[in-house]
Amino acid sequence: MPDNTIKIFHLEMRDQSDFTPKEGSADFTTTLVKPADSKLNQQLYREVGAKWQWTDRLPWSDQEWRDYVARDNLTTWLAHWKGERAGYFELEAQHNGNVEIVYFGLLPNYIGNGLGSMMLTAAVKAAWNQPDTQRVWVHTCSNDHRHALENYRKRGFRLFKTESE
């Protein structure tokens, strides 16, 4: 009988000196979404998350999406490859200098091209550039891309908790 247990991995970076960036490319850029755009976040959540079983926000109403992205402590960043939208990430500033990479992912056509490590580098840099950051953290799961956990570790994240669902 197959084991359908999903493992959730919680990772953190407590010191910016632990960060090991991936060399970038002039063809890869990230931009802050400003002003916040709830329709864009909703679209990206659906498009990026479909492959990875992101389901918790699927039932959200338009108002819930507007309320979510309107918060002062949330930023959304777009990743572009050769001028085309390739993915996104959300950063949430939390209490005590914590910044969470809440959502992070590539659009299906850009998976498998090595862009995940460049985008994670951009996300970690953006997180450490927020005022008073003391810790950057993220969670991933066994449903994620097979290289996701390795990518986080290569950038300097350390596992601090594993859960099963």
The model's pLDDT over 76-129, given as tens digits with 9 standing for 90+, comes to 999 999 999 999 999 999 999 999 999 999 999 999 888 999 999 999 999 999
Which stretches of 9-111 are DSSP H helices? 38-49, 62-69
Phi/psi at 105 (nearest 5 deg)?
180, 160
Query: What order of strands is seen across the sheet that includes strand 84-93?
Result: 28-32, 74-81, 84-93, 98-106, 135-141, 7-13, 158-164
Distance CA 2, CA 36 (A): 42
Q: Is the pTM of this model over 0.85?
A: yes
Instruction: Identify the structural domains of the chain with CATH numbers, from first to last.
Output: 7-164 (3.40.630.30)
pLDDT tens digits, one per residue of 35-81? 999 999 999 999 999 988 899 999 999 999 999 999 999 999 999 99
